[in-house]
Amino acid sequence: MRLSDLVRKSAAKNQDAEPQFSFAAAGSRQSEAAGHSEDRPPRTEPSDRSEVSHYYQSARQEVERILDLASQGTAFSVGRLQQIVTGMVKGLITGDELLVHALNGNEKGVDLARHMVNTSILAVKIAQGAGCRVEELPWVGLAACLHDVGMVIVPRRILEKPDGLAAEETALVRRHPEKGFRILQSLGSEFEWLANVALQEHEREDGSGYPRELKGENIHEYAKVVGLADTYEALTHFRPYRPAKPAFDVSRDLLTADRTKFPNHLLRGLIHGLSTFPVGTYVRLNNSEAARVVATNPSFPLRPVVEVVVGSKGERLDPSRRLDLSTNTLLYITGGSSATGGD
Ligand SMILES: [Fe+2]
């Protein structure tokens, strides 16, 4: 089945889909987490673009601080991070700017904090697309923001290796969910759910994950969301051992080759939440031009508004040309592009 067929089926099914989230028990934790604030909390009502960007930078700094403390075995609290994530969720409900941040960073270095914040943004969008209650989105976002805290056991030289890992290095990397569980467990019994998400985010629907090869309903719903967001984030960004993949190709692979690893309602959530061609990503047109998606079109998910930045002969177009693909039937998207318009 082609991606366009899957997209149409997903969109049709999702209209009458029931929300799949049933983790109200985690809800009582939200206010407790917020109560642990150590510093002056950031404002939680994003009013303009720079303020939304501020949340992104604040989240990165706070996650870096937590990773630092966790690597030293020092206690930390998550109150401030909870405040920042709540602000990010509000920003994600009102606009796409944070999503653009999460999808567009093309820095080449390994940055664990950036990966965790990006995963948080994508997890919120996927959960939102799958029908998650708005009140739950900050919990999903918080869990995603901390999901890889156990990676502090992996030395930087292993994270930055440009080629395959030795067996013992792979084994060490695969211990990070358990390490993350122990780190987050130390936050206290009220954060047991957060620790469980970190423990289970590499479990997969069909039992092919690790560390316990759990299946289906034995996996925490948030862990499934975080696992899908984590996979999407990793594949759409550079790693020392491979280049970034275009977002379109990653969505296609998740909906085809990897479809048994994630539940259908979350794959539909990914299509709805991120759209087939998310704002800020690059696509290739049938006339060989490359364009950047600048607005999605809910009625025509395969025909967003784009800005053509690279001509059919590979030349940079300056100024770029704006094009609404829903009104231009001669041009259509043939796939993702890693073109960056020469930036
Ligand atoms: Fe992980």
- Same domain for 93 and 118, yes or no, is yes
Would residue 215 count as lying in a domain?
Answer: yes
Please enumerate in sequence order all residues whose Cβ is within 8 A of that of 18, keeping only pairs 6 or more positions apart, or say none: 131
Tokens 């499934």 sit at which residue?
Answer: 224
Please report which residue ranges of 15-136 form alpha helices under DSSP H. Answer: 29-34, 49-71, 79-94, 97-104, 112-129
- Same domain for 230 and 313, yes or no, is no
Number of Cβ within 10 Å of residue 79's Cβ equals 17
- Same domain for 157 and 117, yes or no, is yes
Report the pLDDT averaged over residues 191-200: 96
- Same domain for 288 and 197, yes or no, is no
Residue 222 has pLDDT above 50, yes or no: yes
- Same domain for 166 and 312, yes or no, is no
The rounded Cα 129 to chain-centroid distance in angstroms is 13
- Same domain for 202 and 98, yes or no, is yes
Report the pLDDT averaged over residues 275-303: 82
Angle at CA of residue 148, ends 166 and 71, nearest 5°:
85
Q: Which amino acid is at 122?
A: L
- Same domain for 183 and 75, yes or no, is yes
Of 325, 260, 264, the C-alpha closest to 292 is 325
Please enumerate in sequence order all residues whose Cβ is within 8 A of that of 217, keeping only pairs 6 or more positions apart, or say none: none
Residue 103 has pLDDT above 90, yes or no: no
- Same domain for 186 and 294, yes or no, is no
Report how far residue 123's alpha carbon sits from residue 21's, in angstroms, rounded to the nearest whole number: 13
Residue 42 has pLDDT above 80, yes or no: no
**How close is the Cα of 148 to the center of ligand 1, in Å?**
5
- Same domain for 314 and 251, yes or no, is no
Distances (CA, A) of 199 to 30, 52, 208, 226, 287: 20, 30, 15, 11, 46
Overall number of domains in the chain: 2
CB-facing half-sphere around the CA of 181: CA atoms within 13 A? 13
**How close is the Cα of 289 to the center of ligand 1, in Å?**
36
Q: Which amino acid is at 146?
A: L
- Same domain for 77 and 107, yes or no, is yes
**How close is the Cα of 231 to the center of ligand 1, in Å?**
9
Report how far residue 112's alpha carbon sits from residue 33's, in angstroms, rounded to the nearest whole number: 23
Would residue 342 count as lying in a domain?
Answer: no
Domain C-terminal end among 245, 274, 303: 274
**How close is the Cα of 201 to the center of ligand 1, in Å?**
7
- Same domain for 28 and 161, yes or no, is yes
- Please answer whether residues 255 and 269 qualify as being in contact, where contact means their C-beta atoms are separated by less than 8 angstroms: no
**CATH code: domain of residue 261:** 1.10.3210.10
Express each pLDDT in 134-162 by its tens digit.
Answer: 999 999 999 999 999 999 999 988 988 88
**How close is the Cα of 340 to the center of ligand 1, in Å?**
28
- For 90, the domain range is 3-274
Domain C-terminal end among 274, 293, 310: 274
- Same domain for 60 and 138, yes or no, is yes
Q: How confident is the model at residue 48, as a pLDDT?
A: 58
Express each pLDDT in 290-337 by its tens digit.
Answer: 999 998 776 676 788 999 999 999 999 989 899 999 898 789 888 777
**How close is the Cα of 210 to the center of ligand 1, in Å?**
10
Distances (CA, A) of 150 to 48, 110, 176, 221: 34, 16, 4, 20
